[in-house]
Amino acid sequence: MKNYDAIIVGAGHNGLTNGAFLAKAGLDVLVLEKNTYIGGATASLELHKDWKYSNCSYVCSLFRPEIYQALDLGRHGLEVVPLQGSVSFKQDGDYLGSYHQPTLWRREVARHSKRDADAAVRFDADLMKWCRLIRGFLLRTPPDPASFKIRDAMEFAYLLKRFYSLSESQIYEFIRFFTMSIAEYLEQYFESDIILAHFSGGSIIGTGLGVYSPGTAYVLLHHAMGDVDGNVGSWGFARGGMGSVSAAIGSSFKSFGGEIRTGAEVKNIVVKGRKATGVLLASGEEISAKTVVSNLDAKRTFLSLMKAKDLPQDLIKRAENFKIRGSSGKVNIALDGMPDFPALPKGSPLTLGHMHFTDTLERLERAYDDWKDDKWSKDPYVDMVIPTQYDPTMSPPGKHMMSVFVQYCPVEPEGGWTDEKRDAFGATVIDQIGDYSPNFKDLILHAEIRTPRELEAEVGLTEGNIFQGELTLDQLMFNRPFPGYAQYRGPVKNMYMCSSSNHPGGGVMGAPGANSAREILRDLGRTDTTPEDFGDD
């Protein structure tokens, strides 16, 4: 029977990235996937006859350019089209448009508040500073503060050096940024409600926090630190949907000799003598490997993929307490044509970007209050895009596909989810959009509504958490997923983790996969094929 060098459980983008770097180093790698398609939450599927859509993640920006280059993803067919701006609609019929063109943007902010137009320049510059600093930490393994190893000490020294490149005042401002709520952070800059709301939205996406919760300023950064073609902070669409990202990584992986098996659900990781020796499939087949990597979230990895008897007791407790509450839903809609937004001038380019319908911090915070009580938001925050305006490959000519990300949606409303409740949740979202677009409801051909229940069932995101673990300080850096296990090595020998439950966390970034590959190759004494970060650009 064949003994692989490495088996990776789960063909999400991190699993494939991990596999690609291992295969590139000459290992014989097998990726196993439960579903019949690869990509996990990064897949393009059929929404409606002739309509394609990105199943979960829907825009692209965070993917590390270093990985893109190292795996030659351009040659494997990945093309990212930059997205143009965004817009927040106000209840009074006005709107705030965010344009890439600096003078247009400035004029637009000044329309709402002259003071904020000046503040916006300062804010952009500050945010960019923190982005550049934090980006340098993404493709590195977090050091363990409890360790006395030289490597950890060196890594701390490196981080401190980066940190000390800031002035004293900047150091404090950075700490403040890391620990403040987005609302309070922004209130230091801005006065206008619509501008505050416009900037805050990004920092609650996917979290179990509200705009007034400390720690959300960092989440904004988590969403802003990506780039498209070197433009930090901008977002893009993958041509052909997000499935193109996993397809390209998969293709790169195969070009290095890797093997993918879909429809192969793994039941257990086999551990013999405190060493991982392979996996047992649901079909009963056992496949052996010298190294086993789990791309499932920390809860699934330690509470279902591994047997309790193979694990230290405290680790099981940690896994049980791992915070992975889902807070988001998704509505994907096939449209018969392009909806009108009468608030915008005719022919406005703003429909090309992200669209939002929340205009005050209070509405954002109240949406969170609903979630805290296990209800879906009566007045949710949505992040809506219509990618078919750029990418005609995803719908028939003249028709459109709309992707609506919804914050907040509870893991389980009182009494549990039913199909009726799911539809009621969807109706709330559709009604909100309908308030701003009179012909929208008539254009709907098909709407697919997904709550955390559906996200968990289909792509195996526990509780529907899009980051595979909340991004709070107890689960970031050397605490992610658990203190003492943040360097991608599992509790038994030859077992590793590469999912977004690990540093630096969720978003289609590929960084956990690459970082994990670096640690594996290091332990095996192989040449490191993973890229170094580009550094300050």
Partner 1 sequence: MTKVKKVLVIGGGHNGLICATYLANVGFDVQVLEARDKVGGGAASRCFAEGYTSPSLSIAGYGINKKICKDLNLKFSSNTSQHRKDTIALDSQGNHLTLSDGSVSGKSLSQSDIDAYRAFQLEFRSYAKALQPLMMNKPPRLKDMDRQDKKTLAKLGWSLRFGLGTKSMREFLRVGGINIYDVLNETFDSPLLKGALSADAVIGQHMGPRTPNTVLTYLHRLWGEVHSGNDDKANDQIAHVLERSSLDAGVRILSDSKVKNIVLEESRCTGVELVSGEKILADIVISNTDAKTTFLELVGSRHLDAMFCHRVNSVRQRGSVAKLNFALDGLPSIKGLSEEQLAQRLIIASDMRYVEHAFNHAKYGEYSSHPVLEMSIPSIADASLAPDGKHVMSVSATFAPHTLKQGWEAQRDAFTEVVVETLGRYAEDFSSLVLHSELLTPEDIEAQYNVSGGHWHHGELSLDQSFMMRPVHGSAQYDTPIDGLYLCGAGTHPGGGLTGVPGHNAAQRIIDISKSSN
Report the interface residues with partner 1, using CB under 8 A. 145-146, 164, 167-169, 171-172, 175-176, 179-180, 184, 187-188, 209, 212-215, 321, 323, 362, 365-366, 369, 372-373, 472-474, 478-479, 483-484
What six digits make up the tokens of 184?
Answer: 């309070």
**Pick 132 or 366: Cβ nearer partner 1:** 366
- What span, in angstroms and rounded, lies between the C-alpha atoms of 337 and 440? 9
Closer to partner 1 by Cβ: residue 6 or 180: 180
Do 413 and 376 meet the contact criterion of CB atoms below 8 Å apart?
yes
Q: Quote helix, strand, coil % in the chain, to nearest 5.
A: 40, 20, 40
Min separation Cβ 61 and partner 1, Å:
26
Smallest gap from Cβ 206 to partner 1, in A, equals 16
For residue 127, give the 3-state DSSP assignment: helix
Count of other CB atoms within 10 angstroms of residue 524: 16
First to last CA, the chain: 49
Q: With beta carbons less than 8 A apart as the criterion, state whether 321 and 505 touch.
A: no
Position 131: which residue type? C
> CB 214 → partner 1: shortest distance, Å?
5
We find the least distance from the C-beta atom of residue 474 to partner 1, in angstroms, to be: 5
Cα separations in angstroms, 509 against 83, 246, 386, 401, 505: 17, 11, 22, 24, 8
Based on CB atoms, which residue is closest to partner 1, 210 or 241?
210
CB of 475 to partner 1, least distance (A): 8
Residue placing its CB nearer to partner 1 in the complex, 40 or 210:
210
φ, ψ of residue 153 to 5 degrees: the values are -65, -40
Q: Shortest Cβ distance from residue 518 to partner 1 (Å)?
A: 23
If the CB atoms of residues 1 and 146 are measured against partner 1, the closer one turns out to be 146
Omega before residue 142 within 30° of 0, cis: no
Label the pairing between strands 80-82 and 236-238: antiparallel
Cβ nearer to partner 1, comparing 129 with 366: 366
Smallest gap from residue 143 Cβ to partner 1 (A): 12
The one-letter code for the residue type at 524 is: L
State which residue, 480 or 518, has the beta carbon closest to partner 1.
Answer: 480
Contact 117, 106 (CB under 8 A): yes
Alpha-carbon torsion (522, 526, 530, 536), positive or negative: positive
- Kindly tell me which of 187 and 528 has the beta carbon lying closer to partner 1: 187
**Minimum distance between the CB of residue 88 and partner 1, rounded to whole angstroms?**
21
